[in-house]
Structure 1
Amino acid sequence: MNRPEIISPQQAMQLIRDGAMLIDIRDADEHAREHIAQARLFPLSAIESGSTLPVKAGDSVIYHCQSGNRTRSNSERLVAAAAPAEVKIMEGGLQAWKRAGLETVEDKKQPLPLMRQVQIVAGSLTLLGCILGYTVSEAFYLLSAFVGAGLTFAGISGFCGMARLLAVMPWNRR
């Protein structure tokens, strides 16, 4: 399987003008908060479950994510999902697009992406457990240990109870 060509945001913009399809592989909540106007959402989770793009030979597909890490680390899957089209990956993702001075569509009314919410809550609880453990009672260190155990379990199993809980919060309901 061929490795996709890595292109700059400026090259991506030119190819989009020439008819290339821009595909955002981030999650729906990330895409809703900010995205490139020409990008179609096709989450990595859909690709991992076997979905493919409706493309034909001669089509050109450009993938992007937030920073370029997801596209680089999943390049073989991305090529397979767009076969037989020509596949390219935009270096640096949405962040590089913005650094290049290219426009995005932003909706600040959308909640923060779920994983950022998990990071904020987990970090806050860990910090709170340490502060209370130091100032009030050593028993509060258990809060930090509980959060650490939960994050470890989430990493090993793929199930994040905190993400599931946050997903049903009123601010995350659509």
Structure 2
Amino acid sequence: MTVPRAIGVGEARQRLDELTVVDVRTPGEFAGGHLPDALNVPLDRLAPRLPELREAAGRAPLLVVCASGGRSGEAVGGLAAHGVPASGLTGGTRAWTAAGHPLHRPAGAGRAAWAMERQVRLAAGGTVVSGVLLGLLAHPAFVLLSGAIGAGLAFSAVTGTCGMAALLARLPHNRRDARLRT
């Protein structure tokens, strides 16, 4: 059976009860809201979880979700390379909510975590401002810090990767673990 690489929000909503939804965002992003009954397996932890995902795919088709579709597309390709069939949700949770569908926010989860994109903007912006201030007040060489952040953001845009997001994903508030349910 051929599994489509992408499923639209309408089809996903109709088939939600027959799919195993795997959210590849960080645990912090996941806690901020996810599709009902979704399992959190962050993208950087897919490889060690392949046996569980292969088993889950044997029980029900996998639907991989992220915020916009980029990380889920990467995950679908990685899973396919290991013989695990999966589809991605076109447009991710943003498209899901834009279509008027609710996200599940568990009771007792505390404050909603910031999305990774927002965390990156805060870290990059704070570092740039710090570099400029330190360059003016301490030593002009600190302005190079701002230049390095700008170069990193440009590299991120060109390559579709983000080193700062990878680093921020390792912070404790982004690393709450969630295991696959059976």
Is the counterpart of residue 78 in structure 1 residue 79 in structure 2? Answer: yes
- Structure 1 41/6 Cα, relative in aligned 2: closer, same or farther at 3 Å? same
Is the counterpart of residue 111 in structure 1 residue 110 in structure 2? Answer: no
1:16 aligns with 16
Is the counterpart of residue 100 in structure 1 residue 99 in structure 2? Answer: yes
**Percent identity over the alignment?**
24
The TM-score with structure 2 as length reference comes to: 0.67
Is the counterpart of residue 30 in structure 1 residue 29 in structure 2? Answer: yes
1:116 deviates by 3.4
1:33 deviates by 1.5
> Aligned-residue CA RMSD in angstroms?
3.8
1:67 deviates by 0.3
Query: Mean Cα displacement is larger for which, 111-120 or 45-54?
Result: 111-120
1:173 deviates by 9.6
User: Are the counterparts in 1 of residues 20 and 61 from structure 2 also a CA contact under 8 Å?
Assistant: yes
Unmatched 5+ residue regions in structure 2?
177-182
Instruction: Name the structure with the higher strand share.
Output: 1
The TM-score with structure 1 as length reference comes to: 0.69
Query: Mean Cα displacement is larger for which, 87-96 or 121-130?
Result: 121-130
Q: Which amino acid aligns with 1:103?
A: P
Q: What are the superposed Cα offsets for residues 133-152 of structure 1, whole Å, 9 maximum, x if unpaired?
A: 5xx5583x533423554785
User: Are the counterparts in 1 of residues 67 and 91 from structure 2 also a CA contact under 8 Å?
Assistant: yes
> Which of 1 and 2 has greater Rg?
1
Q: Distance in 2 between matches of 1:88 and 1:119?
A: 29
